[in-house]
Amino acid sequence: MIAQSPVLLFRAGSDDTLTHVTATLFLLYSIVGPGLWVLFAISTFLGNLRMNRLRRPVERAVTLPRVSVLIPAKDEGERVRVCLDSVLAQDYPNFDVIAVDDRSTDQTGAIMDEYQAQAAGKVRAIHVPQGGLPAGWLGKCHALFTASKHADGDWILFVDSDVKLAPDALGGALALAVNREYDALSLMTALECYSFLERLVLPLAAASVTAMCLVSFTNDDEVPIAFANGQFFLIRRSAYEAVHGHEAVKDHITEDVALMRILKRARFRTRLFMGRKFASTRMHSTYRQMQSGWGRIYSGVSSRRPWRILGAIGFALSGLLVYPGILVGVVRATSYHDPGWIIAAAVQLAVMTAVIATFYHWSGNGKRYALLFPLAGPILISLYGYALKMCWTGNVAWRGTSYTYHATPASK
C-alpha cells in the first residue's frame, strides 16, 4: 500500500468540505428561495379562489332592506365630493347617507353641509366638535360610533371618505350578504395610484397585510381568523349592536380588523371578497404618509407584537435573495459546469415575478412594476421597520393627531 502525501490528503479533505458546504448552501437556498415562493404562490391563488365571489352581473337581493351608509372624514378636502357623489349614484333603491365631519379644520364640514342641503332627506351631516375626545376613544372610532346612533337601516355600510364606489357596489355586496345569510361583508378595493412611488409601493404594501393576516380564512366559518377593510365594510345592524359596535374597539387603531374578529368570535358569519371592480381608494401619496399609514396598519393588525412584521421582513429578503442567487448560478454554471444554482434561481425569479405581477394587477395597477422589485423591496422593508418602531413605542401620528395606543383583547 502506497502512503498518500499529507498535502494531498489535506487537499482532498478541503475539496470534500467545500463540496459539503456548497451542497448545504444550495439546499438552504432552495428552501428559502424557490421553495418558499412556490408555496406562497399556491396559497395566494387558493386564497383568491375563496375571495373572488363578487362578480358581474351581480346578484339581486331577494329583499331590499334599508341601508345606512356612514362616511367619516377628517380634513379630506375636495376628495370627499368624489366619495359622496359615488355613494349617491348607487343603483340600490333603499339607503340613506350619514356623513361625519370628524373635527376637520378645512372645508370638509362645509362640503357635507352643502350635500345635506342639496339632497334633503338622503344625506345627513354630523359634526364632531373640536376639542378633546372622550377618554379612551380614538377619533375615527368615536366618529363612527356617533354616526351609528343616528342610523336606522337594517344594515350599516361603513365607507371611508377616500373611496369611490361603482354604481352597483352596494347592491351587489348586499345581495351576496342577504341571499347567503352573511352577517358582515367587507371588500378589498382597487388602489388609485398616480405617482411612480404610489404605483411601485402601495400594491405590495397592501398585499403584505393580506399575507400577514391570512385574510382568505375570514371566509371559513370554522377557522378563528378574520380580517376586514374599513374602506368598505357592510354589517347587519343586529350583529353590530350585539357586539357593541365601535364601542368595543374604541381604542384600536385598526378598528375594522378588530371589529371583524369580534364578530367572528361571536359566531357571526363573516366574509371578505375581492372588490377591485366595484370600489377604489386613494391612499397615501408621499413616502412619509406611507410610513405613518402602513406602520399604523401593520402594527395594529399585529397587536403591537413584532412576529408577523419580522416574518414579512424575512420573506421580502428571501425575494431579494434571488438576485445574488442568479449571480452565483452563473459562476457555478460557467466555472464548475453545475447548473443547479441557476435553475433554482430562475425558478424563483419566474414564480416571484408572476406572483408580484398578480398583486399589481389585483390592485388595479400595471404588472410591469413587478420587474422593479429590487427597488420596491427595500422601500417595503423600510415600512416594516417603521411598523416595528410603532410596535415598540406605541406612538402614532396620523392626520394631525398624535397618540399612544395599547394592544387590546379585541385585537388579538
User: What is the rounded distance in angstroms from the CA atom of residue 143 to the CA atom of residue 374?
Assistant: 41
Give me the mean pLDDT over the 173-180 stretch: 96
Q: What average pLDDT does the segment 162-169 reach?
A: 97
Per-residue confidence (pLDDT) for residue 408, from 0 to 100:
53
Same-domain check for residues 271 and 341: no
Backbone angles phi, psi at 100, to 5 degrees: -115, 115
Q: In this model, does residue 410 exceed pLDDT 50? A: no
**Is 255 within a domain?**
yes
Per the prediction, the chain carries an average pLDDT of: 89
Q: What local confidence, expressed as pLDDT, does residue 336 receive?
A: 72
Lowest mean pLDDT among 15-19, 46-50, 225-229, 255-259: 15-19
Lowest mean pLDDT among 51-60, 130-139, 154-163, 251-260: 130-139
Same-domain check for residues 148 and 36? no
The closest of 270, 209, 214 to 243, measured between CA atoms, is: 270
User: Do 245 and 355 lie in a common domain?
Assistant: no
User: In this predicted model, what pLDDT tens digit does every residue of 250-279 receive, in sequence order?
Assistant: 999 999 999 999 999 999 999 999 999 999
- Write the DSSP string, 274-285: E-TTTEEE----
Average pLDDT of the segment spanning 76-97: 94
Residues 392, 270 share a domain: no
- Do 381 and 313 touch, CB atoms closer than 8 A? yes
Q: Are 103 and 251 part of one and the same domain?
A: yes
Final residue of a domain: which of 283, 317, 352? 283
d(CA 76, CA 104): 8
- Checking 194-199 for CB contacts under 8 A at 24+ apart, the result is 194/285, 195/285, 197/286, 197/287, 197/290, 198/283, 198/284, 198/285, 199/360, 199/365, 199/366, 199/369
Task: Kindly give, in sequence order, each residue whose CB lies less than 8 Å from that of residue 47, ignoring residues fewer than 6 positions away.
Answer: 210, 214, 215, 216
Q: Identify whether 245 is part of a domain.
A: yes
> Taking residues 307-330, what's their average pLDDT?
90
Mean pLDDT on 40-44: 91
Say whether both 123 and 162 belong to one domain. yes
Structural domain contains residue 200? no
Task: Give the distance from CA 396 to its chain's centroid.
Answer: 18
Q: Is the pLDDT of residue 11 over 80?
A: no
Whether residue 176 sits in one domain with residue 68: yes
First to last CA, the chain: 71
What is the pLDDT at residue 322?
Answer: 87
pLDDT band at 374 (very low <50, low <70, confident <90, very high): very high
Residue 7 belongs to some domain of the structure: no
Give the pLDDT score at 8: 42
Would 342 be classed as within a structural domain?
Answer: yes
pLDDT digits (tens, 9 = 90+) for 186-228: 999 999 999 999 999 999 999 999 999 999 999 999 999 999 9
Higher pLDDT, 136 or 219: 219
pLDDT band for position 301 (cuts 50, 70, 90):
very high
Kindly state whether residues 28 and 147 are assigned to the same domain: no
CATH number at residue 236: 3.90.550.10
Q: Compute how many other C-beta atoms are within 10 angstroms of the C-beta atom of residue 218.
A: 26
Class of residue 112 by CB neighbours under 10 A (exposed 0-12, middle 13-18, buried 19+):
buried
Q: What's the Cα-to-Cα distance from 244 to each of 69, 102, 149, 163, 318, rounded to whole Å?
A: 18, 21, 12, 26, 42
Angle between helices 307-320 and 373-393 (to 10 degrees): 160
Predicted pLDDT at 19:
67
- Claim to verify: residue 380 and residue 254 sit in the same structural domain: no
CA distance 245 to 63: 24
pLDDT band at 9 (very low <50, low <70, confident <90, very high): very low
**84-93, 221-230, 280-289, 401-410: least confident range:** 401-410
Question: Are residues 336 and 235 located together in one domain of the fold?
Answer: no
Q: Which three cell numbers stand for residue 148?
A: 351609528
Domain interval for residue 164: 53-189+229-283
DSSP letters for 209-265: HHHHHTGGGGG-TTS------TTEEEEEHHHHHHTTGGGGGTT-TTHHHHHHHHHHH
State the DSSP H helix or E strand holding residue 300, giving kind and residue range, or none if neither.
Answer: helix 287-301
Domain count, the chain: 2
Q: Which residue bears the cell 420596491?
A: 376
pLDDT at 309: 96
pLDDT bucket at 365, cuts 50 / 70 / 90:
confident
What is the pLDDT averaged over residues 391-398? 78
Share of the chain above pLDDT 70, in %: 91
Q: Is 204 helix (H, G, I), strand (E, B) or coil?
A: helix
The DSSP call for residue 168 is T
Whether 388 is covered by a domain: the verdict is yes
Let me know whether 145 and 39 are in one domain: no
